[in-house]
Chain A
């Protein structure tokens, strides 16, 4: 390499430059399709606009959208539905996911097959999961109602998608089925990173299976579980497809989460300004919630 190149990126003093060049396309693209739209969103939420035209002069600054939002019972109802769904789905996914992971972490014949089976719902697209469960929760010939009637838990067929309480559970069950494999996959990876020496040492000291779980498995799993928990919560918060296709947020807005409300206000009623305000509030809740939960662990997410 005797040639003197103007931009010899192999020179140690120039190497950091290469780093910036490699990063540039990502920064550019993310800026163009995430940051810029996000700024537009925040700006929209501060204007009283229905369906904005790009290039048109900006409508006057106003906080009317936010005032209307905090005064509307629909918004508080959506917050409540979102909270309920987050609690139920996260708890359900966590319990199912961790227990299936502990189960298939045992050594047994057919373990690989069992692992594949238990992670399968993760690979099924949300809309397809909804097609399956919409039929299981069908009000006339659905399996779930029939099962409940047969077991004597219900007097008659349940109109799942037109009964508020039932619709909520139909959504929650669909989401748990779709969401728990992610917890399972992450937990399994976490379990496998725990050295077996720890368990052997504990056995020598006479710790029983529950003590080993409580004092070895659980503490060492905590970092992974923390990150997983946050990702699941954010997923439930943001979900659009499952609820939209299964119940459209109904009946009587009983399954209308903040995400569904954002979307319907924008594309159902063309209140882009108001919808953006709902979306911005949702985002703020997401960010604050996950920072609170992760705290110093934030770095663990990447």
Chain B
């Protein structure tokens, strides 16, 4: 592929312009977080903070329950990822390897589960959880998040297992492995990239949830997740935009780091399940 210098210029120009446009909101979040309140209430806005207030991060961390919110988010995510992965690794493997009666209708059903509006499901779940006195507990969130996650992870993993040749575990079984042993010792290690991608996706889904946290935990501030907590920082009449932005950085950074780290796997995993 040979480009004329003009074509190269056009290509790089477009890429840089577009990237700038896409990344600008994130940049603006950072600028806002380190701006003074006075800077933020003037026009024209300053696009480069001359007097960066890094202290806002420390202030928000100490004065707001951000460590608690982050811990809760982390616990809910770890809990629901663990639960969903155990369940959907088994199910995805079964759907990939065994002829299961009703497998197709089961697929259609999970497809429907993907279409369920969370706002519909949250109504009966609220009634059920309230009945068991589970409102306000992080365990409730773990269970609720797994409803979001399992339909996705099961099909992502099925798609991934389909790409792994059956001969692998057949060879292992000839060598004396039990079917379960073959899966655990041979297939799962080979599937590590797929497992990593799927877990990451599950983690993102749990971390991003707001609807369930708001419904089940709103009256239990000790269990607030980061997303729920941060919305409470938006005041009725005025909002300290620098403080809420600094808090938002704390909430967004873990997920962005994980994402950058595992991006390659993620794209493979996400499309393995969908693109067939």
| Residues of chain A whose beta carbon lies under 8 Å from any beta carbon of chain B | 1, 9-10, 15-16, 18-20, 22-23, 25-27, 29-30, 33-34, 36-38, 40-41, 44, 52-55, 100, 103-104, 106-108, 110, 114-129, 131-136, 138, 140-141, 143, 146, 150, 177, 185-186, 188-190, 193, 223-224, 227-228, 231, 234, 237-238, 240-241, 244-245, 258-260, 262-263, 266-267, 272, 275-276, 279-280, 282-283, 286-287, 290, 298, 300-302
Q: Chain A's nearest CB lies how many Å from the CB of B229?
A: 10
Q: Chain B's nearest CB lies how many Å from the CB of A210?
A: 15
Given contacts A26-B150, A193-B275, A302-B107, A120 and B90 within 8 Å (CB-CB):
no
* Chain B residues closer than 8 Å to A103, beta-carbon distance: 11, 14-15, 18
Closest Cβ neighbor of A224 among chain B residues: B275
Q: Chain A's nearest CB lies how many Å from the CB of B162?
A: 10
Which one, B93, B215, B248, contacts A132 given CB within 8 A? B248
| Residues of chain B whose beta carbon lies under 8 Å from any beta carbon of chain A | 1, 8, 11-12, 14-15, 18-19, 22-23, 25-26, 28-29, 32, 40-45, 83, 86-88, 90-91, 93-95, 97-100, 106-108, 110-128, 130-131, 143-144, 146-147, 150-151, 154-155, 158-159, 173, 176, 178-180, 204, 207-208, 210-211, 214-215, 227, 230-231, 234, 239, 241, 244-245, 248, 251-252, 255-256, 258-260, 263, 267-268, 270-271, 273-276
Closest Cβ neighbor of A131 among chain B residues: B248
* Chain A residues closer than 8 Å to B276, beta-carbon distance: 300, 302
Given contacts A25-B86, A37-B128, A120 and B256 within 8 Å (CB-CB):
yes
Which one, A10, A262, A287, contacts B173 given CB within 8 A? A10
Question: Is the beta-carbon distance between A266 and B248 smaller than 8 angstroms?
Answer: no
Q: Chain B's nearest CB lies how many Å from the CB of A254?
A: 18
Question: Is the beta-carbon distance between B121 and A38 smaller than 8 angstroms?
Answer: yes
Question: Is the beta-carbon distance between B18 and A118 smaller than 8 angstroms?
Answer: yes
Which one, B100, B121, B179, B230, contacts A34 given CB within 8 A? B121
Given contacts A29-B150, A30-B110, A108-B15, A124 and B91 within 8 Å (CB-CB):
no
Question: Is the beta-carbon distance between A279 and B119 smaller than 8 angstroms?
Answer: yes
Q: CA A16 – CA B120 in complex, angstroms?
A: 36
Number of cross-chain contacts by CB at 8 Å = 302
Closest Cβ neighbor of A189 among chain B residues: B271
Question: Is the beta-carbon distance between B98 and A125 smaller than 8 angstroms?
Answer: no
* Chain B residues closer than 8 Å to A122, beta-carbon distance: 259
Question: Is the beta-carbon distance between B123 and A276 smaller than 8 angstroms?
Answer: yes
Question: Is the beta-carbon distance between B45 and A141 smaller than 8 angstroms?
Answer: yes
Q: Chain B's nearest CB lies how many Å from the CB of A259?
A: 5
